[in-house]
């Protein structure tokens, strides 16, 4: 039983409370001077009919403390517990060394499947920085949930439906050729699409031709489908370069077109349950009782909409994967859309609608400028990542020109910097990406954490050369303030991972990793790890080994690689 659990048990007994109630109330004070754990007694004032300071004093006198706790003090309505530093060091360090790369993992997801809809790029369009947040956040959530025992299904819900694809085919038939599209990829398709609109201004009949080709796609015409599917292949080939750079994979690329033959079920079911009503010729679900505008299901011409396809997708995913949770990592602007879709699912009688969740995030800008496709200010993601790698290489060349595998490290640092800056804060906060900030070796950045990990690796290589053993640590040698700060940061990591999973907030892992990094760097300044005293060296190397493990695990969970040399 760990220290916290022992304190919970003795408090529950002394206060006459359920252990779960004590667990929810027990805090870690903001300062070590206030103890290692603190129990606020204010919640007992009503039942005990006493002032909180008196309750705290009574508990301090009556409680039977476990051996690992040196004393308990009553201070202003709080009961503060001071743990034996040697026992604290043991309790914090042993679990990391024993669990290794599984430290912070869990099994609460065992036997459960989670669907994560993220990235969702558009066919025939280049992958730009606007897709960075959904891609990086989705990947982090995939890794975090998998780490906690869930079976994850990563879904790239491709934007591959609409009249624009009919226009693309018309443009290709008029002015395109296979060799150019194969060679230039999405850029060639974009050029064709732009030309279509230029030519359509002079010849409006082209718009009708575009609609005819889209109708051919809807009717599964062989020629139309061959070109349409080829456009998807070329786009995905282009996108895979970016996904490979980011180390991201998907289990499904079922996009909007996949649900073309699955929407009748939605429409029929809505009709059968009396949920569809007519509004200006369109078919809608009235949501006014929930202070929402109507959810559009069919347009006046009978065409389906995003909501129709998302309803079909939700039903398909539940039928296929039987998810325990279904996440949609989509920008906050789509909040109303998902509220409507989830409410319609609920009205259809599906109680699992409560398991569907919109994981919203803020806007991305680049060095102070808002991105706008219409205004022509777009930053393409492959170019951003490549530039990050080049900038990292320049910095490394200045700092450590003789570094082995410099190109590989530059890739890890450059791409890691972009990813890290995306999961640094609460996901709903807007992100303004700046090179100088992202690639700094100081402060809250990937290079800062990666360099600390590499430093730990270097120290452990030296320890291995010196023959420092791994077991039999004297924990009393890790009881100074700096060591305790590192140990507490390490012990906070599992809860950060758990909360990141529950709340769908990867930044909690990022912050936990930064806390370990900062504490260890502070420790390293004043404490030689490879010391003249072999017992001291032994203990400090064990601490370093634990730090390296948590940094590597934490970086992996948010999608960042951990170089061993920098």
Give the bridge partners for 326, in sequence order: 115, 356
Cα of 158 vs its chain's centroid, Å:
20
Q: Are strands 78-83 and 113-117 parallel, antiparallel or unpaired?
A: unpaired
Reduced to 3 states (helix: H, G, I; strand: E, B; else coil), residue 74 is: strand
Give the bridge partners for 252, in sequence order: 155
Q: Are strands 113-117 and 356-359 parallel, antiparallel or unpaired?
A: unpaired
For residues 364 and 464, what is the distance between their CA atoms, to the nearest angstrom?
45
Give the bridge partners for 73, in sequence order: 80
Helix/strand/coil (H/E/C) assignment for every residue in 57-96: HHHHHHCCCCCCEEEEEEECCEEEEEECHHHHHHHHHHHH
Measured in degrees and rounded to the nearest 5, phi and psi for residue 82 equal: -110, 115
Could you list the beta-strand ranges (E) of 236-389.
276-279, 282-285, 295-298, 325-329, 356-359, 364-366, 369-370
**Whether 504 contacts 357, CB under 8 Å:** yes
**Whether 147 contacts 104, CB under 8 Å:** yes
The structure tokens listed for 116 are 């994560």
Selection from 472, 477, 507, 508 nearest residue 492 by Cα: 508
The structure tokens listed for 350 are 């599906």
Written as one string, the DSSP assignment of 378-422 is --BHHHHHHHHHHHHHHHHHHH-TT-TTHHHHHHHHHHHHHHHHH
Where would I find the H helices in 470-564? Answer: 481-491, 493-503, 507-526, 534-558
For residues 206 and 199, what is the distance between their CA atoms, to the nearest angstrom?
8
Out of 46, 50, 112, 128, pick the active-site residue. Answer: 128
Out of 46, 50, 76, 125, pick the active-site residue. Answer: 125
For residues 213 and 170, what is the distance between their CA atoms, to the nearest angstrom?
7
Out of 50, 131, 391, 429, pick the active-site residue. Answer: 131
Reduced to 3 states (helix: H, G, I; strand: E, B; else coil), residue 283 is: strand
**DSSP designation for 159:** B
Reduced to 3 states (helix: H, G, I; strand: E, B; else coil), residue 441 is: coil
128 is catalytic: yes
Instruction: State the maximum Cα–Cα separation within the chain, in Å, rounded to a whole number.
Output: 91
How many Cβ atoms are within 10 Å of 370's Cβ, its own excluded?
A: 12
The structure tokens listed for 127 are 């992958």
Return all residues near 66 (Cβ < 8 A) that are at least 6 apart.
Answer: 3, 6, 7, 9, 10
**Whether 306 contacts 313, CB under 8 Å:** no
- Residues recognised as catalytic: 125, 128, 131
């Amino acid at each position: 039983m760990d220290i916290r659990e022992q304190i919970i048990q003795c408090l529950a007994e002394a206060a006459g409370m359920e252990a779960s109630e004590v667990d929810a109330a027990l805090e870690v004070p903001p300062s070590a001077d206030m103890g290692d754990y603190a129990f606020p007694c204010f919640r007992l004032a009503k039942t005990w009919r006493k002032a909180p300071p008196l309750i705290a004093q009574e508990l301090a006198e009556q409680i039977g403390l476990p051996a690992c706790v040196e004393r308990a003090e009553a201070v202003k309505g709080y009961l503060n517990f001071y743990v034996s530093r040697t026992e604290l060091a043991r309790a914090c360090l042993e679990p990391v060394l024993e669990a290794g790369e599984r430290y912070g993992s869990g099994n609460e997801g065992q036997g459960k499947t989670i669907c994560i809809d993220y990235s969702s790029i558009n066919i025939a369009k280049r992958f730009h920085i606007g897709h960075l947040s959904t891609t990086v956040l989705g990947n982090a959530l995939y890794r975090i949930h998998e780490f906690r025992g869930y079976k994850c299904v990563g879904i790239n819900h491709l934007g591959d439906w609409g009249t624009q694809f009919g226009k693309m085919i018309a443009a290709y038939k008029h002015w395109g050729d296979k060799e150019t599209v194969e060679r230039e990829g999405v850029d060639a398709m974009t050029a064709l699409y732009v030309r279509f609109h230029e030519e359509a201004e002079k010849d409006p009949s082209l718009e009708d031709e575009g609609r005819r080709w889209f109708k051919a796609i809807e009717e599964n015409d062989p020629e139309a489908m061959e070109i349409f599917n080829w456009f998807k292949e070329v786009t995905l080939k282009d996108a895979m370069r970016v996904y490979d750079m980011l180390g991201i994979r998907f289990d499904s690329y079922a996009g909007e077109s996949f649900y073309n033959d699955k929407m009748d079920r939605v429409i029929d079911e809505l009709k059968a349950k009396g949920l569809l009503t007519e509004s200006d010729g369109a078919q809608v679900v009235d949501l006014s009782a929930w202070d929402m505008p109507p959810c559009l299901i069919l347009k006046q011409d009978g065409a389906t909409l995003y909501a129709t396809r998302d309803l079909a997708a939700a039903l398909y995913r539940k039928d296929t994967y039987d998810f325990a949770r279904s996440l949609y990592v989509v920008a906050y602007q789509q909040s109303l859309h998902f509220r409507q879709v989830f409410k319609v699912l609920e009205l259809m009688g599906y109680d699992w609608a409560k398991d569907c969740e919109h994981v919203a995030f803020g806007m991305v800008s680049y060095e102070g400028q808002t991105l706008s496709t219409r205004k022509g200010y777009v930053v393409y993601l492959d170019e951003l990542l490549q530039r990050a790698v080049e900038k990292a290489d320049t910095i490394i060349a200045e700092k450590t020109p003789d570094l082995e595998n410099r190109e590989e490290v530059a890739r890890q640092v450059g791409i890691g910097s972009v990813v890290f800056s995306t999961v640094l804060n609460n996901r709903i906060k807007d992100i303004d990406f700046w090179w100088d900030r992202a690639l700094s070796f100081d402060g809250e950045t990937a290079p800062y954490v990666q360099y600390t990990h590499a430093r730990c690796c270097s120290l452990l290589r030296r320890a291995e050369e010196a023959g420092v053993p791994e077991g039999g640590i004297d924990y009393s040698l890790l009881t100074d303030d700096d060591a305790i700060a590192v140990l507490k940061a390490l012990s906070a990591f599992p809860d950060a991972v758990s909360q990141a999973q529950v709340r769908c907030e990867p930044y909690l892992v990022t912050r936990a990793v930064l806390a370990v990094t900062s504490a260890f760097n502070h420790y390293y300044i004043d404490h030689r790890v490879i010391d003249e005293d072999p017992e001291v060296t032994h203990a400090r190397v064990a601490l370093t080994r634990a730090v390296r493990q948590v940094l590597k695990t934490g970086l992996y969970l948010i999608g960042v690689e951990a170089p061993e040399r920098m």
